[in-house]
């Protein structure tokens, strides 16, 4: 916060205390200048939560183009002679065909088969990787493992700060800025480039399914400049600052670490079984546990729900879900979708109740609305993201 | 937050969004009920930041007795046949004389000798430990190491939620609640006990130097009940809810992870060299690096500063410090001490400038006040904490 005049310990105003225990991204001042109204924390950094309001921000992501400070998506960099081998230990995903220039969504598992994080990994060189992580300190896990396994790797947090440009108009905006080649950049691929001398990795990725890019800034001192360049170039497209949308991401089938998956959930339970290859030679962490889990069969599964109630504003806790008056699980994420005009949710429930169309009851405390099991995603936005140029990711 | 009526997406009020990605302690509802005005996050949990105002809360800790929700001090539990051996790998501290029933402040180091965390470790059994951690996910580090080293240990986060009772009147209050034996409990020792059937570990510890205890609640379902029992018993002592005080802790010489120490600082730089035993047989992580560091001599050191300016309200960033117009380091923590009526700070500066009485200049942006190097702590509260019953800790 701004320094107050001396001796100002007044309590009339709610204190607005930014701690520097919580780090600020290089775009932080820009987000304040552009009217960010609230922040949350993510990987010990401030993450913008809302500019206009959650619904206006959401519509702009879906219809226009938006700029997100996602500097809190920290990169865990793995280099060294054993880097690839080490990475293969971290994830159940088969990385055999992982090309330089490619990104791969690669859940990390514990020795119990639980999900530790679900980063997007970029391969910058044969033995040079960035793990763009969800909210959990993968650096510590990787460091601990590397020390224990005595592998020849270096684990670092490089000076890299992602800025996301998301929404259907992002394609034309980014072509204005970088040239037509960005139209041909395939989904989940990247290129090392620069903009007015600012060093960047430009990836076709981002935590929405509305299409877009992420600019991985490689020198924090250019943060404000990069933000302003993109905002200026975005004017013809009515670009707006926004944040990762809790609504859009549920509509589109994206999962959020700590809500929909944690180390207590395994990949099979949350629809990530396709990223587990038990037949590969690599002895990744969690392989034995996952073999046992799949042999025994999973007991619960993440499903979509339509909740038949008045539009919800905000879900304060993981509501219990019942089937035939028996507790069968909990809601992990729930939002009102203005586009569908429905309350939609994810729920982790017993496998006996996961068939589409199953009728359930949600215990919200004040009310107990009915709900119906539905497919994930609620809205299939694949074409928006691929725009004809898809790839395995 | 409370559920709002349907369709309430209004933007007139600043949204008060509690995420359940950020966890709530079992005392969270009590803290709201008792008027907590702002929270920060710590170990991915909400941590109360202020009740009345920072200064009133501070005086109450120093003069009376206060109750703090420090559920965010998560416990990393280490058990299994190799638990003690594994713990010895984690810390440079010599743990040879570590008794069951004792707590030891034990910094954890990386293989580079940097500080990963500075937990208080409690020994509940020969091979049963709790690491009461600062804000960084030690669970991941320990898990990674254990997997890599293939030691026979189990690393867990148990259902344990600390509640701190801090301040000079805590001694009588706790004796009222538990009996006179708590007066004889030595500093940094604990006892497993219960209160009205609520299972607890009662430790003579806490993140102030005003004297006090920590109640490690072993069953979250009793959180609200425990809070109310202590508040009720505290009425004769005018107990107030409060939070770890950013002012009191600087006065008393306590360090805060992420501010005064990080993995980029080593124990010798921050006055924790006494907790490093390079002569022990144990080959702890970072031993070789720390040998090199001490042989080469450290280049910078954390010192106390008195800053000669008007009372500060809040430090927004690590201000640069100059000596003879040369940059020599930065402020890591700075507060106005109402008790001393001075601005006091910690600064990490070049060893050439660390002698007491050295005159420095702090660049606050808007002003450049002079500052004088002083001893840490600013106020010696040892007698308040020990009350005649001290022990190595």
Residue of B18, B110, B310 lying closest to A6 (CB–CB): B310
Contact A49, A153 (CB under 8 A): no
Residue-level pLDDT at A385? 85
Contact A305, A373 (CB under 8 A): yes
Distance CA B273, CA B266 (A): 9
C-beta atoms of B6 and A52 within 8 A = no
The answer to whether B20 contacts chain A (CB < 8 Å) is yes
Lookup result for tokens 């390079």: B278
State how far Cα A67 lies from the chain centre. Answer: 15
Residue of B6, B38, B138 lying closest to A15 (CB–CB): B38
Residue-level pLDDT at B389? 67
C-beta atoms of A40 and B20 within 8 A = no
The 10s digit of each residue's pLDDT in A288-315 is 999 999 999 999 999 999 999 999 876 7
DSSP-derived 3-state class of residue B205: coil
Lookup result for tokens 């990223």: A275
If you average pLDDT over every residue of chain A, what do you get?
A: 92
Which residue in B55, B57, B28 sits closest to B42, CA to CA?
B28
Residue-level pLDDT at A19? 64
Residue-level pLDDT at A10? 35
Q: How many CA atoms lie within 13 A of A105 on its CB side?
A: 19
Q: How sure is the predictor about A39, in pLDDT bands with cuts at 50, 70 and 90?
A: very high
- Six-digit token string for B34: 């008792």
Residue A234 or B18, more confident? A234
Distance CA A347, CA A305 (A): 7
Contact B64, B240 (CB under 8 A): yes
Q: What is the mean pLDDT of residues B374-392?
A: 82
E strand or H helix at B350: strand B342-350
Nearest-CA distance B266 → chain A (Å):
17
Pair type for strands B45-50 and B38-42: antiparallel
Is the pLDDT reported for residue B8 higher than 50?
no
How large is the angle between the packed helices A170-178 and A223-234, nearest 10 degrees?
120
From chain A, pick out residues whose CB is under 8 angstroms from the CB of B3.
312-314, 316, 364-366
Chain B residues 139-178 with CB within 8 Å of chain A: 140-150
Residue-level pLDDT at B5? 35
Residue of A4, A146, A257 lying closest to B313 (CB–CB): A4
Residue of A140, A256, A314 lying closest to B137 (CB–CB): A140
Which residue in A201, A202, A196 sits closest to A184, CA to CA?
A202
Helices (H), B91-245: 138-149, 170-178, 181-184, 223-234
Contact B2, A312 (CB under 8 A): no
What is the chain A residue with the closest CA to B314? A3
Q: What is the mean pLDDT of residues B183-195?
A: 96
State how far Cα B221 lies from the chain centre. Answer: 25
The 10s digit of each residue's pLDDT in A152-193 is 999 999 999 999 999 999 999 999 999 999 999 999 999 999
C-beta atoms of B135 and A44 within 8 A = yes
C-beta atoms of B53 and A314 within 8 A = no
> What's phi and psi for A164, nearest 5 deg?
-100, 135
C-beta atoms of A141 and B136 within 8 A = no
Is the pLDDT reported for residue B19 higher than 90?
no
- Six-digit token string for A116: 């530790």
Chain A residues 261-320 with CB within 8 Å of chain B: 285, 310-318
Strand partners, B122: B103, B130
Nearest-CA distance B343 → chain A (Å):
11
C-beta atoms of B14 and A364 within 8 A = no
Residue-level pLDDT at A313? 73
Helices (H), chain A: 28-33, 54-63, 83-90, 138-149, 170-178, 181-184, 223-234, 246-252, 287-296, 382-386
Residue-level pLDDT at B18? 59
Cβ neighbours of residue A288 closer than 8 Å, sequence gap 6 or more: none
Cα distance between the two ends of chain A: 41
From chain A, pick out residues whose CB is under 8 angstroms from the CB of B37.
14-15
Strand partners, B287: none
The total of other beta-carbon atoms located within 10 Å of residue B6's CB is 11
This prediction's pTM = 0.89
Residue of A3, A9, A148 lying closest to B53 (CB–CB): A9
Is the pLDDT reported for residue A13 higher than 70?
no
Nearest-CA distance B385 → chain A (Å):
27
Residue-level pLDDT at A16? 46
C-beta atoms of A14 and B38 within 8 A = yes
What is the chain B residue with the closest CA to A138? B140
Pair type for strands A161-166 and A66-69: antiparallel
What is the chain B residue with the closest CA to A142? B144
Distance CA A81, CA A391 (A): 28
C-beta atoms of B19 and A6 within 8 A = no
Lookup result for tokens 């950049």: A185
The 10s digit of each residue's pLDDT in B302-345 is 999 999 999 987 676 789 999 999 999 999 999 999 999 999 99
C-beta atoms of A137 and B135 within 8 A = no
The answer to whether A392 contacts chain B (CB < 8 Å) is no
Residue A119: Cβ-neighbour burial (10 angstroms; 0-12, 13-18, 19+): buried
Nearest-CA distance A205 → chain B (Å):
23
What is the chain A residue with the closest CA to B367? A3
- Interface mutation vs chain B, best among A1, A7, A19, most B CBs within 10 Å: A19
Residue of B4, B22, B144 lying closest to A142 (CB–CB): B144
Distance CA A214, CA A164 (A): 4
Cβ neighbours of residue B32 closer than 8 Å, sequence gap 6 or more: none
If you average pLDDT over every residue of chain B, what do you get?
A: 92
């Amino acid at each position: 916060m701004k320094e107050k005049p001396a001796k100002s310990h007044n309590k009339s105003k709610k204190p607005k205390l930014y701690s520097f225990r919580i780090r600020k991204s290089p775009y932080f001042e820009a987000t304040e200048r552009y009217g960010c109204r609230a922040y949350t924390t993510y990987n010990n950094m401030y993450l913008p939560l809302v500019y206009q309001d959650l619904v206006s921000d959401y519509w702009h992501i879906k219809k226009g183009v938006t700029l997100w400070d996602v500097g809190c998506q920290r990169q865990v960099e793995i280099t060294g002679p054993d880097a690839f081998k080490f990475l293969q230990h971290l994830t159940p995903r088969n990385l055999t065909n992982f090309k330089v220039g490619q990104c791969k969504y690669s859940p990390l598992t514990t020795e119990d088969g639980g999900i530790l994080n679900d980063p997007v990994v970029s391969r910058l060189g044969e033995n040079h990787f960035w793990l763009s992580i969800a909210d959990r300190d993968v650096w510590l896990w990787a460091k601990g493992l590397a020390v224990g396994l005595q592998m020849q790797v270096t684990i670092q947090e490089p000076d890299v700060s992602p800025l996301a440009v998301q929404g259907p108009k992002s394609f034309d905006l980014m072509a204005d800025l970088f040239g037509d080649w960005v139209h041909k950049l395939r989904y989940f691929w990247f290129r090392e480039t620069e903009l007015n001398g600012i060093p960047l990795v430009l990836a076709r990725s981002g935590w929405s399914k509305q299409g877009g890019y992420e600019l991985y800034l490689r020198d924090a001192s250019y943060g404000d400049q990069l933000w302003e360049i993109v905002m200026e170039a975005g004017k013809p497209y009515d670009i707006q600052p926004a944040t990762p949308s809790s609504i859009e991401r549920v509509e589109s089938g994206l999962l959020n670490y700590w809500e929909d998956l944690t180390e207590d959930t395994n990949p099979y339970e949350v629809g990530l079984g396709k990223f587990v290859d038990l037949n590969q030679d690599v002895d990744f962490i969690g392989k034995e546990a996952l073999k046992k889990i799949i042999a025994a069969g999973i007991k619960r599964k993440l499903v979509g729900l339509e909740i038949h109630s008045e539009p919800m504003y905000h879900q304060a806790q993981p509501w219990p879900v019942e089937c035939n008056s028996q507790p069968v699980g909990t809601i992990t994420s729930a939002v009102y979708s203005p586009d569908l005009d429905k309350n939609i949710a994810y729920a982790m429930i017993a496998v006996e109740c996961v068939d589409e169309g199953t009728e359930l009851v949600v215990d919200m405390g004040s009310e107990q609305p009915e709900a119906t099991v539905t497919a994930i995603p609620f809205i299939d936005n694949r074409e928006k993201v691929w725009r004809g140029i898809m790839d395995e990711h």
